Amino acid sequence: MIVPLGKSLVADELPILERHGLSMWEYVVLNALDERPTRTQSALADAIGADKTRIIPVLDELQRRRLIKRRPDESDRRVRLLSLTADGLRVRTATQAEIQRGEEERLRALTPTQRRGFLAGLQILSAAAGDADR
């Protein structure tokens, strides 16, 4: 049940992302960079469950559009320091707000108790899954 539900949620998000000019991976990267500062591209890839080779074109594009900054670390010139720009934060916030409105819409089908249980359960299972995958 979970996988098809995920697909359905993604299908809802795609038009929203497109309106904001973002691909799914670009949106995931903006979210990850906003939540916790990430020092290396490998760590970022790990954090979002992507391959390090796969996010490179994503970072290239985000940098080109000035949504992220990516500069070499002076103390270890192999690593690139990644951070959101003001524009990047703005786009991320606007996009996330719109997506959350859609999610609220879906959650209206649940009673308050179901809703609380569902969200709590989801967070716990999600965190446990993240731990297990390391």
Partner DNA sequence: TATTGTTATACTCTATAACTATA
Partner DNA sequence: TATAGTTATAGAGTATAACAATA
Which run of H or of E encompasses 120? helix 112-132
Selected binder of its own copies within 35, 74, 104, 133 (CB under 8 A): 133
CA 10 to CA 37: how far, in whole Å?
A: 25
> In the range 4-63, which residues lie near its own copies by CB under 8 A?
4-11, 49
Angstrom distances, CA of residue 71 to CA of 31, 33, 50, 63: 19, 14, 21, 10
Selected binder of its own copies within 64, 77, 104, 132 (CB under 8 A): 132
Residue 78's binding partner out of its own copies, DNA, none, with CB under 5 to 8 Å set by partner kind: DNA
Instruction: Give min distance, CB of 34 to its own copies, in A.
Output: 16
- Three-state DSSP at 43 gives helix
Binding site for its own copies (CB under 8 A): 1-11, 49, 106-107, 109-110, 113-118, 120-126, 128-130, 132-133
